[in-house]
Amino acid sequence: MITTIGFDADDTLWHNESIFEATHEKYRTLLARWHDAATIDRRLFATEMRNLELYGYGIKAHALSCIETAIELSGGDIRAAEIREIIAYAQEMLAHPVELLAGAAEAVPQLAQSHQLLLITKGDLRDQERKLAKSGLAQHFQHTEIVAEKDVATYARVLRRRQIPPGEFLMVGNSLKSDILPALDLGAYAVLVPYHLLWQAEQAAPPPPAAAANRFFQLETLRELPALVARLNGQV
């Protein structure tokens, strides 16, 4: 019996990576006189991975890596006005309206009537709290967990603190690496709802059939989630 459902936030409940991609396009244009787009993307990703331990995830961390990469790729020639542009990109992202994904506005309140809902997400604390508040969904979540990393240890800690048995927990998200594989490793259920864009650092292979048997599911949109949960709980 599934009693608790965890939801990822970015690209599961609302659009996120598409906002990053639009900003990346402007960033590539800004640096085009020094390097081609592929080089810019490669060097920026390397910088982000190098800084991950220091900065964590989120728009502010991304902006710092963008500035560092721009200085490196330009050989220090990038102008202060152009660095101000990169900062403005980040400010625009932080102020971007929250746009819910298909089915989120219906599935979350429906499931909240019969299940405990948790929001479990990575990213900047202030930004994630802002997006949740503006999403219109905040009142449906009993607990919000904004964490530094989403791995087996993190999920185990969250479930232990909330006294939730893994066999009664279902995690919903768009990332195999962050949302699906750790939950399955704990013995919980997991539902993948893919987003059309996925950050390179979130790429992962699907779970092996033995690990996923009867506990891993994939849906096209969140609209299908209530029916799946009802079926898993033997209600249909």
* CATH classification at residue 58: 1.10.150.240
Q: Where are the alpha helices (DSSP H) in 6-94?
A: 17-30, 37-55, 59-73, 80-94
pLDDT digits (tens, 9 = 90+) for 123-177: 999 999 999 999 999 999 999 999 999 999 999 999 999 999 999 999 999 999 9
* Residue 212 confidence (pLDDT) above 80: no
Q: Please provide residue 120's backbone torsions phi and psi, each rounded to the nearest 5 degrees.
A: -125, 110
What is the pLDDT confidence band of residue 228, given thresholds at 50, 70 and 90?
very high
- Based on the number of CB atoms within 10 Å of its own CB, is 114 exposed (0-12), middle (13-18) or buried (19 or more)? middle
* Residue 229 confidence (pLDDT) above 90: yes
141 with 217, same domain: the answer is: yes
23 with 60, same domain: the answer is: yes
Q: Which of 12-26, 62-76, 149-163, 210-224 has the lowest mean pLDDT?
A: 210-224
Tell me the longest C-alpha to C-alpha distance in the chain. 64
Percentage of the chain surpassing pLDDT 90?
Answer: 95
| Tokens describing residue 161 | 């603190």
Query: How far is Cα 160 from Cα 151, in angstroms, rounded to an integer?
Result: 14
**4-7/189-192 β-pairing:** unpaired
Please give the residue range of the domain that contains residue 26.
Answer: 17-94
Percentage of the chain surpassing pLDDT 70?
Answer: 100
| Tally of structural domains, the chain | 2
110 with 217, same domain: the answer is: yes
Query: How far is Cα 62 from Cα 73, in angstroms, rounded to an integer?
Result: 16
* Residue 10 confidence (pLDDT) above 90: yes
Within 13 Å of residue 60, how many CA atoms lie on the same side as its CB? 9
122 with 49, same domain: the answer is: no
- Average pLDDT in the chain: 96
87 with 108, same domain: the answer is: no
